[in-house]
Structures are given as C-alpha cells and as structure tokens.
Structure 1
Amino acid sequence: MSEPQSKLSRRRALAGAGTAGALAAAVAVLPKGQPAPAPTAAAQPAAEPAKGEGYQVTPHVLRYYQTARI
C-alpha cells in the first residue's frame, strides 16, 4: 500500500518545482529596485488645476462607461 503515498509525493514534488520555476521567472522579469529619493525640505502642495484641465467627461469616456455597464 505504499504506492498511493509515492504518487502523492511525486505530485507534491512536481507542484513544488512548478511553483519554484514560476517564482524564479517572476523575479527575473521584475525591474531592479531603485534607491528611494532623498526627502525634500518641504513638499509642495498640489496646485488646483486651471479651468479646462483635469478630469473631463468626453465622448470617448462616456462610450467607455456605456460599454462597462453590466
């Protein structure tokens, strides 16, 4: 009755190898980390957008909202 135990351990070994391979591929694709920039003396508050700037409802935005409805 040791045969079911060996099948189970083979499955775990293959699953582990697949997971390790996927993690290695993900690490290889991720960009290298950049050092954090030095903090500035004082952060400038974001200025209010001038009239006509910022978010605008345009025809292509309305079309997107219509297609995204469920």
Structure 2
Amino acid sequence: MSEQKKIARRSFFAGLGLVAAAGVAAKLAPANVAEAIAEQPAEPEGNSYRLSEHVKKYYRTTTI
C-alpha cells in the first residue's frame, strides 16, 4: 500500500509541475500570435535567395 501512495504522490507533483510550466509558457507567449507574425520582416525583392516552401521542405527532409 505504501508503494501505491508514493506513485500517486509522484504523479500529483508531476502534474502540478506540468500545469505550472504551462502557465509560465502562456504568460510569456505573445498576446496576439497574428500580431507577432505580422511583425516579421517581408522577404527581400529582386533575385536574391528566398526561403520558399520547397526549400523549407528540402531542409526538413535533410534533418536527422
């Protein structure tokens, strides 16, 4: 019976830590995600290198 109480206590404190971490993450996150995305600079004009969707897909396939 003692072992079962330890497991329950551990899972309670693990859940408590998870809730605390989620609260901190929510507090530090930007208030409006769309606003944060809009603040990113636009892509340069001209014939310079552009990070397009097919390039992003290639980079994702090369990661281990």
Indicate the TM-score class for this superposition, using the shorter chain for normalisation. Answer: 0.5 to 0.7
Unmatched 5+ stretches in structure 2 = 39-43, 50-64
Decide which structure has greater helix share: 2
TM-score by length of 2: 0.53
* Aligned mates of 2:13, 2:24 — CA distance in 1: 16
Q: After TM superposition, what 4+ stretches of structure 1 lie above 6 angstroms from structure 2?
A: none
Unmatched 5+ stretches in structure 1 = 38-44, 55-70
Larger Rg: 1
Q: Which has the higher contact order (CA 8 A, sep 6+)?
A: 2
TM-score by length of 1: 0.49
The two structures, once aligned, show a CA RMSD in angstroms of 2.7
